[in-house]
Amino acid sequence: MDEYQQIKLNVDNIDNVEEVQDKIKELGFQSESLLQYLKPTIEASKTLQLIFFFLGAVSMFVSAISIANTMVMSIYERTKEIGIMKVLGCVIKDIRLLFLFEAGMIGFIGGTVGVGFSYAASYLINKYGQPLFGALVSGGRPMGGEVAEATYSIIPFYLPLLGLGISIIVGLLSGYFPARRATKISAIEAMRTEN
């Protein structure tokens, strides 16, 4: 008769681990899981998510200021061009849309670069994070057996789209007042401006 010293089970969802452990104990067997080690890690992960959210919000604020500054400088440098557009009969709404489009594109390009960096960081964390995160989960102690391969960084499909959308909106909002200023420039004074 074959005897087994231990059986390893993989549970489909981390939320089901305690339930499966209870069922095993009801059958009269001992049960251990990494959940006791993972709970502090999950809490730390939630804290990290909050920190990253805060850093993202600060980054968006700084981006908005940078885009607004870029648009103000663009309007200042192109004052004569704006005057020429007005003299030629360009509709004020079109001039505003031109500058809003530029601000939106700056936001889109910044968002695209940010999404690219996010995917690169996620790849590096998943590829090289096993030793680091394995040690964190075990508290630096060997746990008797192999540490399972894991994916530490998962980017949901909607997150890059949300990031791009927010970047474009931040670009448009930060470009609104400079674009409005561009439409209020007097055509005659703009033509006299020396750039």
Taking only Cα atoms into account, the Rg of the chain, rounded to an integer number of angstroms, comes to 28
Exposed, middle or buried by CB within 10 Å (0-12, 13-18, 19+), for 72? middle
pLDDT per position in the chain (195 positions), as tens?
A: 577 777 888 888 878 888 888 888 888 888 887 777 777 877 887 888 899 889 988 988 998 999 999 988 988 888 888 888 888 988 989 999 999 999 999 999 999 999 999 999 989 888 887 766 666 655 555 555 555 566 777 888 999 999 999 999 999 999 998 888 888 888 887 777 766
Closest CA to 45 of 125, 163, 153, 117: 153
